[in-house]
């Protein structure tokens, strides 16, 4: 299904890189060389695409700054969509921003994650990567293959790490949603005190409420995916999820602060 030429070529390059990295690490890590190579290769890829992540966060921040003005324009020109689009375009252009500035970098990251998923979830190319072992467990081992020996503690530790990371990310998402709701309520109250109708804020409340309920649940999808991934894929998920959590803590620390 995913074996079209560009993807197959990219996966081949990735396999070569992981294999050579494992050979380099073998004197230090012994039988865990391939597992260590998976972790380091995942970190290297995340470093490579970190400028895209930074651009995504910057775009989100610009849109957040313009959000009150966008809501005001939508309230004032709700009956004139053409006028609304023109005013929004002018607003974003004057601020040097774009309504899709946060989306484009995320889309550009997708091919990287597709390659990584294919690399660590299947071995239909006969690379032998998933035949390597960690603590005696093949990297191609699934939970459905059993939990005898070292497989139980190994999968248990990795899944516990994913649950902890999901809980942490979900907690941050709930805090961000609560902060946004408080800010929206303050703006609505200010509009009412000034004699406005406040319809701009209330019109967005249903969608915001749904997002507020759904977003905190999304991190737990990683745990669900890990239940059907081989050990190599679970190692990748733990590494990339940890990286994402650290990025969230560093790049979005200003967004996570409660408004004074």
The answer to whether the pTM exceeds 0.75 is yes
Output the pLDDT for position 40: 96
Give Dmax over CA atoms of the chain in angstroms: 73
- Answer with the residue of higher pLDDT: 106 or 172: 172
Long-range contacts of the stretch 141-150 (C-beta < 8 A, 24+): 141/230, 141/231, 142/228, 142/229, 142/230, 142/231, 143/227, 143/228, 144/228
Output the pLDDT for position 238: 96
pLDDT at 35 over 80: yes
pLDDT at 138 over 70: yes
Q: What is the mean pLDDT of residues 200-228?
A: 72
pLDDT digits (tens, 9 = 90+) for 91-104: 888 877 766 655 66
Q: Which residues contact 54 (CB under 8 A, 6 or more apart)?
A: 251
Distance CA 61, CA 254 (A): 10
pLDDT at 148 over 80: yes
Closest CA to 106 of 45, 60, 149, 152: 60
Distance CA 35, CA 171 (A): 30
Q: Which residues contact 215 (CB under 8 A, 6 or more apart)?
A: 173, 177
pLDDT at 143 over 70: yes
* Chain-centre distance for alpha carbon 141: 25
Output the pLDDT for position 234: 95
Output the pLDDT for position 57: 78
pLDDT at 258 over 60: no
pLDDT confidence tier of residue 182, bands split at 50, 70 and 90: low
pLDDT confidence tier of residue 248, bands split at 50, 70 and 90: confident
pLDDT digits (tens, 9 = 90+) for 186-199: 444 444 443 444 44
């Amino acid at each position: 299904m995913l074996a079209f030429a560009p993807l197959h070529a990219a996966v081949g390059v990735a396999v070569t890189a992981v294999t050579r990295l494992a050979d380099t690490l073998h004197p230090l890590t012994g039988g865990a060389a391939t597992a260590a190579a998976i972790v380091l290769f995942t970190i290297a890829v995340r470093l490579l695409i970190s400028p895209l992540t930074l651009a995504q966060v910057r775009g989100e921040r610009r849109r957040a700054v313009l959000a009150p003005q966008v809501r005001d324009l939508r309230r004032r020109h709700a009956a004139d969509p053409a006028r609304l689009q023109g005013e929004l375009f002018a607003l974003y252009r004057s601020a040097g921003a774009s309504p899709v500035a946060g989306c484009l970098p995320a889309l550009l990251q997708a091919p990287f994650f597709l390659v990584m998923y294919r690399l660590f979830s299947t071995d239909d190319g006969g690379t032998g990567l998933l035949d390597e072992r960690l603590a005696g467990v093949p990297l191609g081992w699934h939970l459905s293959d059993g939990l005898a020996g070292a497989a139980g503690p190994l999968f248990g530790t990795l899944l516990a790490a994913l649950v902890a990371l999901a809980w942490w990310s979900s907690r941050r998402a709930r805090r961000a949603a609560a902060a946004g709701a408080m800010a929206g309520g303050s703006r609505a109250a200010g509009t009412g005190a000034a004699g406005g109708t406040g319809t701009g804020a209330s019109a967005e409340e249903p969608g915001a409420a749904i997002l507020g309920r759904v977003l905190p649940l999304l991190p737990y999808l990683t745990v669900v995916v890990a239940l059907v991934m081989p050990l190599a894929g679970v190692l990748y998920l733990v590494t990339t999820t940890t990286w994402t959590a650290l990025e969230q803590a560093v790049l979005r620390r200003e967004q996570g602060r409660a408004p004074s």
